Amino acid sequence: MAGAALLCFEDEHRLAAKIAAPAGLALHTIARHRFPDGELKLSLPVPLPERVVLLRSLDLPNEKLVELLLAARTARDLGARRLALVAPYLAYMRQDVAFAPGEAVSQRIVGEFIAGLFDALVTVDPHLHRVARLDQAVPVAQAVALTAAPLLGALAARRRARPLLVGPDAESARWVAAAAAAKGLDHLVCMKIRRGDRDVEVVLPDHARSMLAGRAAVLLDDIASTGHTLAQAARALREAGAASVDVAVTHALFGSGALELLHSAGVDAIWSSDCIAHESNAATIAPLVVEALAGLEMLNGV
């Protein structure tokens, strides 16, 4: 990708460095300044090539969406004709319909906002429900949805002997199956009953106890925020006879107190991909992103 650049912010420089060199991209950092009133000033490198990739994971999205607006428009002004976004975590994807009159359908609104700034998007395990394809949520010319499931399955196999992979709810079924297939591991899926953001019940399937006895269980999920669902699942796994319970997630959103909650529920190790920089990072998505960038038409002269 000669003549193309990867832009990042300082807090994501570690992941960006793992992507830039293998992808043949010149790496540059966007300077960021906050004024006393809270407004942001960004400074991009000059000059910019015609093909530019911006790396920005959209945890803490409300401020980062403004960063996307400022960075993308400025990159265009500086000569970028083809602009791709690598957002390992893609925010505002949950709300894809209005469940009550007057609700904002954030997926459509944010998706159209991103599509208005970028020509292509690469993300990892987007949290889509009633939408079959990423380009239906973010209508760009090329929308690539990667998965970290095989990475986490391989990680679990390296860290534990014959681990049993466990999905905390029905939504995780296909994802956990893909993680298990990566290393030929056993897996099972729980049922989740949600009564509120922090009020959930997790029920194990009938055959779980026979599969769990004396084994290492690894809970896998795409997103962990409050940790309540994973904590309930961990307690259920311990009660059913699991010798150990670990957690592996793609997106480590862990809010205040989440890690403590998980450990108090009987979780041993907590692992995550580096989609979001976090102390639990144990697997890198960089090779997946490099491969995806190599397939983007806008970066390869098509």
pLDDT in tens, 60-108: 999 999 999 999 999 999 999 999 999 999 999 988 888 899 999 999 9
Per-residue three-class SS string for 71-125: HHHHHHHCCCCEEEEEECCCCCCCCCCCCCCCCCCHHHHHHHHHHCCCCEEEEEC
Q: Is 295 helix (H, G, I), strand (E, B) or coil?
A: coil
Domains 4-147+285-299 and 149-283 share a fold: yes
Lowest mean pLDDT among 5-19, 133-147, 171-185, 252-266: 171-185
In contact, 155 and 274? CB cutoff 8 Å: no
pLDDT in tens, 197-253: 556 678 888 788 888 888 999 999 999 999 988 999 999 999 999 999 999 999 999
User: Domain 149-283 belongs to what architecture?
Assistant: 3-Layer(aba) Sandwich (3.40)
Name the DSSP class of 139: -
Fold of 4-147+285-299: Rossmann fold (3.40.50)
Among 207, 260, 210, CA closest to 234: 260
* Euclidean distance between CA atoms 274 and 35, whole angstroms: 29
Type of residue numbered 217: A
Q: What is the pTM of this model?
A: 0.93
Beta bridge partners of 36: none
Q: Is 81 helix (H, G, I), strand (E, B) or coil?
A: coil
* Euclidean distance between CA atoms 171 and 185, whole angstroms: 19
Domain spans in the chain, listed from the N-terminal domain onward: 4-147+285-299, 149-283
